[in-house]
Amino acid sequence: MNTLTQTDFHRLKWLLGQMLALIAFWAMLDLDFGNQPLLLFFGMIITVTVAFPGLPGRIPVLFWRAMTPALILIVILDFLLHGEEFLKPLVRMVMLLSVYRCLQYRTRREDLQLVLLALFILVIAGVLTVSLSFGVQMLLFTPLAMVLLFVINLLEASHDQKLARGDWKGFRWGAFLKRLRQSMDYRLIGFAGVLFAGVVTVSSLIFVTIPRFRIDQALPFLQMPGTSMTGFSDIIRYGDVSRLQNDDRIAMRVEVPDTQNIPTGPYWRMVVLDEYTEQGFRMSLSLKHDHVEFKQGSQISSQFWGRYPRLDDPDGEWIFFMEGNVSEYLPLLGPFAQMRFQKKNKYQIYPRLNVVALDAVSSSRFAYSVKGMSRGDRIAATEVEKFELIEHDPLASPVLIAEEPTEMLGYPQTTRALPMREKDREYLLGVVDEITGGEHLDADAFIEKTLQWLHSHYRYSRSLREMYLMEGDPLILWMQEDDRGWCEHFAGSFALLARAAGYPSRVVAGFAGAEWNGYEDYLVVRNSNAHAWVEMYDLDGNWRRVDPTPQGGLEGADDGSGLAAAVGSFSGWLAWVDSIRMVWYRRVISFDEGDQARMAENLKSYSERTYAQARGWLRAKINAAKEWLTQGWNRNKVIQIALCIAASCFIVVGARFGILWLRAFMLRRGSLLGMQAYDPSRKRAGRLLTRYRPVREHVRAHPAEVEEAESWERTYQELLAVRFGDLSQRPPVKGTFRQARRLLRRARRQGWC
């Protein structure tokens, strides 16, 4: 039988440490840390050391002497240059120390350091990402760490010993793993499995029962600001939205309260841009100064909007699960009655625009719920907007010309301004005359004719001509010189034409469309759903949503590259995997005090109901048995009792034979594989040795009084061989046990035990 040497245990300890470091770096890949190339490089170094374990022994001593001061210098410079972002240099320092330990043959103390370093990286990544992969990584990290600590304890007597280059000479991982497998004990594996299951169970109970506590809120240095990967901000330049259409990553998942009322073409509003400049549409300074200052809390009431939608919305509550690094602006379908965050957040509100924004882009996933959310294509204007826009009569003065800089204009005047050259304004007025035929159209007719004009002159495409080097307004140049454009061009052109016709307009950027995952019933919105459209004031108290992109964003453009605002289907194995991630978000990320209270109440009611049912069932069975026994005896009743007794005996005997067969099978399999499988003979030999040792001591102390003293000693040695010896070299088991029992009976008769 192959057994592991002390050197083999040191090799196993070293391998487990390398694996823990690799899991920690894997966790860091899920975090948008800006150091992915460095992580991949470190992971590659550790992988190479595992493939060639003798490599660290070839590193000269001079390198290690120079490495310590070099690491200290690198860490100090990193903190000095990036001290305002304390977490990033801290994690980079831990990563460097982990790699430094992985390039060495470690002592016991250094192995414990590596476990702590890897655990720190894993916890930081988990706190900031709370991704499903973090759960998988913890399930891998925990048993490996437990095995490593177990091996460290086994090597307690040689804790100062380190591997050397010579220990890896002629070493092969395949032969080592085979030898490790042959040396395993089923009982040890079973005990480790039970211990791991206990750790998972206790951890789950702690998670369910303890009060909700966010470590990233308690420790401010763990709050790392993110970077918007969508680019949705207070200014949208041409191409900012269209460049996302090749990005198929998921931006958010939405749990709908009622599948019957899902909008056919959902438009997720994020940022509203009222002021036009040659660089593109942006949020005006007056709106920025008009927003509610940053507040901190977990709930936003409808009072900020100047309107009070009903909280008892029959459609229920919408729950948004946002991925990290999407945007500081929160997607919404429209005005709402109440918004609730999972944790306290700093936020700001733009009441006139029905827009909510966090103070910074979140680097980690987060959730928020919305009640009473409007889903229509109209948003009622505020009383202030109606008052300031009602004085403008489009029939008398169809366009507002901004002679002064747009910075001097206040909202909502910015939604009417055309700050451009005179000939560009004349061009727009000419196009409006062509569209309307010189008539003054109402909002519905103007929208219909303007869309017809745009779709007959331009088509959706991501390849544009190089006319933007020419002098002039870029959007006007596009309308004059090109016939292909992005959604920003169509939205911007419609907004300018509407303003020229006397209809205040603003551009909205966000997501259009979604996919339905039927495995867990939720909507999936991707970065490729990024879109831009228009909200036009219809002079009747409403901002009307208009999507000027060809096909209205419902079926795609003529060239097949347009956006899809309708709800499609997300199916296949990728959808199934994503549904598991959604379960993780629902049951882990969004698990709060309310869920705890509901779970406790459900558990209480279920326990009471189950207890009552079990008690009633037991009483019914007892009463039925009493009634059956008191009804008198007959032949059928005797036969039934006899059959029950026979069946019980058959079950007991069958279970006994099944256990004996399983033991024999494990013994045969262990013998074939050279493994120390469970052997009942060893256990019986141990029990006999416990009774035999006192008698043996008496025989050795009084050899003259004992007949056949050599037989006593020989039997003792045979019992030791059965208990601890090799399976292939031990004496006959049955004969040894028979002889031991015979001698023990003689000892009892003599009064020796």
Q: Is the pTM of this model over 0.75?
A: no
Read off the tokens for 512.
């259009």
Instruction: Pick the most confident of 61-65, 153-157, 445-449.
Output: 445-449
Lowest mean pLDDT among 137-151, 496-510, 598-612: 598-612
Residue range 412-433, pLDDT digits in tens: 888 888 888 888 888 999 999 9
Q: Running DSSP on this structure, what letter comes out for residue 339?
A: E
Q: What is the mean pLDDT of residues 272-287?
A: 85
Per domain, the residue ranges of the chain are 6-220, 611-673, 680-750
Q: Given this model, what pLDDT does residue 291 score?
A: 64
* Contact residues for 9 (Cβ-Cβ < 8 A; gap 6+): 151, 154, 155
What pLDDT digit, counting tens, does each position of 678-710 carry?
A: 567 888 888 888 888 888 888 787 776 667 777
Range 667-680 average pLDDT: 55
Q: Map tokens 């004990």 to a residue.
A: 185
**Cβ pair 273, 508 in contact under 8 A:** yes
| 406 has a pLDDT exceeding 70 | no
Query: How would residue 65 be classed by pLDDT, with cut points 50, 70 and 90?
Result: confident
Lowest mean pLDDT among 384-393, 453-462, 736-745: 384-393
Q: Does the pLDDT at position 400 exceed 70?
A: no
As a whole number of angstroms, the distance between CA 112 and CA 95 comes to: 15
**Alpha-carbon distances, residue 30 vs 125, 131, 226 (angstroms):** 7, 8, 13
pLDDT of residue 593: 63
- Residue with more model confidence, 654 or 225: 654
Asked if residue 252 lies in contact with residue 352, where contact means CB atoms within 8 angstroms, the answer is no
Q: Which pLDDT tens digit goes with each residue over 81-111?
A: 876 677 788 888 999 999 999 998 998 889 9
Rounded to 5 degrees, φ, ψ at 661 are: -65, -40
What pLDDT does residue 450 have? 93
Query: Rounded to an integer, what distance in angstroms lies between the CA atom of residue 410 and that of residue 394?
Result: 19
Overall average pLDDT of the 152-165 stretch: 78
- Amino acid found at 617: W
- Is 24 in contact with 109 (CB distance < 8 Å)? no
| Secondary structure (3-state) at 556 | coil
Q: Is the pLDDT of residue 664 over 80?
A: no
- 537 contacts 498 by C-beta, under 8 angstroms: no
- Mean pLDDT over residues 520-543, rounded? 89
Please state, in angstroms and rounded to a whole number, the distance separating the CA atoms of residues 338 and 485: 38
Residue 245 has pLDDT above 90, yes or no: no
pLDDT band at 505 (very low <50, low <70, confident <90, very high): very high
Lowest mean pLDDT among 183-187, 336-340, 359-363, 370-374: 183-187
pLDDT-derived band of residue 398, with 50, 70 and 90 as boundaries?
very low
Question: With 0-12 CB in 10 A as exposed, 13-18 as middle and 19+ as buried, what is 731?
Answer: middle
More confident residue, 601 or 398: 601
- Out of 121-135, 273-287, 494-508, least confident range: 121-135
What are the b/e assignments for 642-674, b being 16+ CB within 10 Å?
eeeeeeeeeeeeeeeeeeeeeeeebbeebeeeb
Distance CA 270, CA 329 (A): 5
- The type of residue at 20 is L
Tell me whether strands 505-512 and 292-301 are parallel, antiparallel or unpaired. unpaired
Q: Which range (35-39, 258-262, 577-581) has the least confidence?
A: 258-262
Span 507-531, average pLDDT: 90
The rounded percent of the chain whose pLDDT value lies above 90 is: 17
Least confident range from 1-5, 136-140, 610-614: namely 1-5
Which pLDDT does position 306 carry in this prediction?
46
The pLDDT of residue 45 is: 92
pLDDT band at 200 (very low <50, low <70, confident <90, very high): confident
The pLDDT tens digits for 344-378 are 778 888 888 888 888 888 777 888 888 888 888 88
Give CA–CA dist 345/297, Å, rounded.
Answer: 6
Nearest one of 333, 353, 317 to 264, comparing CA atoms: 333
pLDDT of residue 671: 53
Strands 542-546 and 459-460: unpaired
Going by C-beta distance under 8 Å and a sequence separation of 6 or more, which residues neighbour residue 677? Answer: 185, 186, 666, 667, 669, 670, 671
φ/ψ region of 354 (left if φ > 0, alpha if ψ in -120 to 50, else beta) reads left
Question: Residue 590 has what DSSP assignment?
Answer: T
Percent of the chain with pLDDT over 70: 81
Q: Is 50 exceeded by the pLDDT of residue 501?
A: yes
Q: Which helix (H) or strand (E) holds 255?
A: strand 250-255
Most confident of 267-271, 599-603, 657-661: 267-271
pLDDT, residue 558, reads 37
Rounded to whole angstroms, the Cα distance separating 722 from 192 reads 26
Residue 634 scores a pLDDT above 70:
yes
Residue 436 CA, chain-centre distance (Å), reads 53
Query: 358 has which bridge partners?
Result: 347
| Residues 6+ positions from 170 with CB-CB distance below 8 Å | none
What does the alpha-carbon distance between residue 300 and residue 370 come to, in Å, rounded to a whole number? 9
Asked if residue 563 lies in contact with residue 172, where contact means CB atoms within 8 angstroms, the answer is: no
Angle between helices 186-209 and 593-630 (to 10 degrees): 120
Give pLDDT tens digits for 542-600: 899 999 988 644 333 333 333 446 788 888 888 898 888 888 887 776 666 666 677 77
Q: Mean pLDDT across the chain, nearest whole number? A: 80
Q: Is the pLDDT of residue 192 over 70?
A: yes
From 672, 669, 679, select the one nearest 723 (Cα to Cα): 679
Q: Which tokens go with 366?
A: 């987060």
Query: For residue 49, what pLDDT is reported?
Result: 92
With b for 16 or more beta-carbon neighbours within 10 A and e for fewer, the 502-529 pattern comes to: bbbbbbbbbbbbbbbbeebebbbbbbbb
Rounded Cα distance, 735 and 723, in Å: 14
For residue 234, count other CB atoms closer than 10 A to its CB: 19
pLDDT at residue number 227 = 58
Contact 349, 356 (CB under 8 A): yes
DSSP state of 273: E
Q: Which of 9-23, 252-266, 597-611 has the highest mean pLDDT?
A: 9-23
Query: In the predicted model, is pLDDT for residue 379 greater than 60?
Result: yes
Asked whether the bond before 412 is cis by omega within 30 degrees of 0, the reply is: yes
